[in-house]
């Protein structure tokens, strides 16, 4: 009899344990919820368990019941930015989420240049420590994790920003968030999900790669590496999929260095990845990314081709790209240390393009538009040059011109209104112009807003991508 009594008690305790309301880690105290949105709150409970959810900003209570698979999910309407607030969940147990802010939530993803933090050597962040308490910023850092299948939870927790948790957080993400917070005066939630060395395939659902013959073939050419995943979907499944119920404003992305050997398919891969994320969130959120910086790769021209592919991805709606070639002072370092200006440029894109503020100062880099040949001159027209162009220095650098023989010579550049006139005494009948179109070249053409002109070429000639001897 005693045996059955203990078995009954054990069973009761076990059922009580599993009956408790449980939440994914992304839904917790200190979180930032997207303002003025239909936001999901979700979790697990005993099948059929009834849960009452009360939000303190409107004191409304909503009822939800766990389904037969122990899942529950409900939408709540968030107000405009503010807080702190609480959310109370009452079922077999009670959970109170406190210190919640309502504001703007952004995902910060990519590889090492997004991951790089104070702990990785970005020591300039030390200057930020003394005034972090003035910023309404919350951080959620996702540890490196992989999975063969999409997951519904991820390790981590929301934290009020301080010098300790900032040390391990994305420097680019922090500067982005800081500038949004100061420009808009609303709370900012930053979710850091990145892994140095990962190709974009790892961040794309495997079905989207495997179902596309071009992308599948390119993925098969990526060599296995010991310290980061290369298989399609492995990072996405563990580090992005668990977030897709969480309402966000948009994403910033800094990646590409690990895809330089398959640059010809990178634009299609990026477009596919962006589309898959938006489909998962059911939202065409803005996607702003960083063009990879000049660096002396081991093969000819692979960096230039990857940057060209990144420019092509701007054809995807609601995207934006920042050029950072002028922020590099060491082309042997694949991790430029100036993350502050990278974050600021991404923030300026979001402030103008997503939030419609400060449009007087264009946040967009000048991009090649067209070339017109007139005699011995090649006239280059650009997008995003309403404020004019300038050369920083006595003569333009990293700009070359060629005739039908495809031999490029250093060119002379003259600025005429919002165009440049390119020529060389060695090229009587020009056919093509290239600017900063190499792995590590750093040019000096700028718009008068202070942003560098994006690298470009006017030709489509085959390039040498063999190993540099």
Per-residue model confidence as pLDDT tens digits over 287-319: 999 999 999 999 999 999 999 999 999 999 999
Kindly state the tokens that stand for 94. 């009670």
C-alpha distance from residue 119 to each of 187, 241, 395 (Å): 25, 27, 39
Model pLDDT, residue 199: 97
* 17 has a pLDDT exceeding 70: no
Question: Does residue 338 surpass a pLDDT of 50?
Answer: yes
pLDDT in tens, 274-294: 999 999 999 999 999 999 999
Q: Are 389 and 445 in contact (CB under 8 A)?
A: yes
Report the pLDDT value the prediction gives residue 53, as an integer from 0 to 100. Answer: 98
Write down the pLDDT at residue 367: 98
101 pLDDT tier (thresholds 50, 70, 90): very high
| pLDDT surpassing 80 at residue 207 | yes
Stated as kind and residue range, the H or E segment containing 55 is strand 50-55
What pLDDT, on the 0 to 100 scale, is given for residue 413? 98
Spatial distance between the Cα atoms of 263 and 265, rounded to a whole number of angstroms: 5
List, in sequence order, every beta strand (DSSP E) within 313-441.
319-322, 367-374, 377-383, 389-391, 399-402, 408-410, 412-416, 419-423, 432-435
272 Cβ partners below 8 Å, 6+ apart? 204, 208, 209, 212, 215
Q: Is the pLDDT of residue 226 over 90?
A: no
pLDDT band of 6, cuts 50, 70, 90: very low
The CA-atom distances, in angstroms, between 349 and each of 42, 309, 339, 380 are 32, 20, 16, 25
What is the rounded average pLDDT of the residues 51-58?
Answer: 98
Q: What angle do CA 161, 165, 169 make, to 5 degrees?
A: 95
Mean pLDDT over 172-198 rounds to 97
Q: What is the mean pLDDT of the chain?
A: 94
């Amino acid at each position: 009899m005693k045996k059955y009594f203990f078995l009954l008690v054990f069973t009761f305790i076990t059922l009580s344990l599993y009956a408790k309301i449980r939440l994914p880690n992304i839904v917790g105290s200190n979180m930032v919820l997207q303002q003025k949105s239909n936001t999901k709150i979700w979790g697990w409970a005993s099948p059929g368990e009834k849960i009452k959810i009360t939000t303190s900003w409107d004191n409304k209570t909503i009822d939800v019941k766990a389904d037969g698979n122990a899942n529950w999910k409900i939408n709540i309407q968030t107000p405009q930015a503010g807080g702190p607030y609480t959310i109370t969940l009452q079922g077999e147990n009670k959970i109170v989420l406190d210190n919640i802010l309502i504001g703007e939530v952004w995902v910060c993803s990519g590889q090492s240049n997004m991951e790089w933090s104070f702990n990785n050597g970005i020591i300039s962040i030390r200057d930020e420590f003394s005034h972090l308490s003035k910023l309404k910023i919350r951080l959620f850092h996702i540890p490196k994790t992989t999975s063969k299948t999409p997951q519904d939870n991820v390790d981590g927790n929301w934290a009020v920003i301080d010098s300790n948790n900032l040390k391990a957080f994305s420097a680019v993400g922090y500067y982005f968030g800081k500038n949004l917070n100061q420009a808009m005066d609303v709370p900012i939630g930053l979710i850091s999900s990145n892994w140095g060395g990962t190709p974009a395939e790892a961040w794309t659902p495997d079905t989207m790669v495997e179902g596309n013959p071009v992308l599948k073939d390119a993925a098969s050419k990526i060599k296995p590496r010991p310290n980061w995943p290369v298989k399609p979907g492995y990072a996405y499944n563990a580090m992005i999929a668990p977030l897709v119920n969480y309402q966000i404003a948009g994403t910033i992305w800094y990646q590409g260095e690990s895809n330089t050997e398959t640059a010809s398919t990178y634009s299609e891969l990026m477009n596919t990845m962006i589309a898959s994320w938006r489909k998962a969130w059911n939202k065409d959120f803005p996607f702003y990314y960083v063009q990879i910086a000049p660096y002396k790769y081991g093969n000819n021209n692979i960096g230039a081709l990857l940057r060209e592919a990144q420019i092509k991805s701007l054809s995807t709606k609601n995207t934006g790209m920042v050029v950072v070639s002028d922020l590099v002072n060491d082309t042997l370092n694949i991790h430029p240390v100036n993350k502050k200006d990278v974050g600021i440029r991404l923030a300026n894109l979001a402030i103008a393009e997503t939030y419609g503020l400060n449009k007087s100062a264009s946040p967009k880099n000048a991009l090649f538009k067209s070339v017109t040949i007139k005699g011995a001159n090649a006239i280059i027209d650009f997008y995003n040059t309403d404020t004019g162009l300038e050369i920083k220095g006595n003569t333009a650098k990293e700009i070359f011109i060629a005739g039908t023989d495809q031999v490029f010579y250093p060119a002379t550049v003259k600025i005429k209104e919002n165009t440049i006139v390119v020529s060389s005494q060695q090229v009587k009948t020009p056919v093509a112009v290239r600017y900063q179109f190499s792995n590590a070249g750093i040019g000096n053409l700028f718009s008068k807003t202070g942003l560098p002109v994006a690298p470009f070429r006017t030709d489509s000639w085959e390039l040498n991508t063999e190993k540099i001897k």
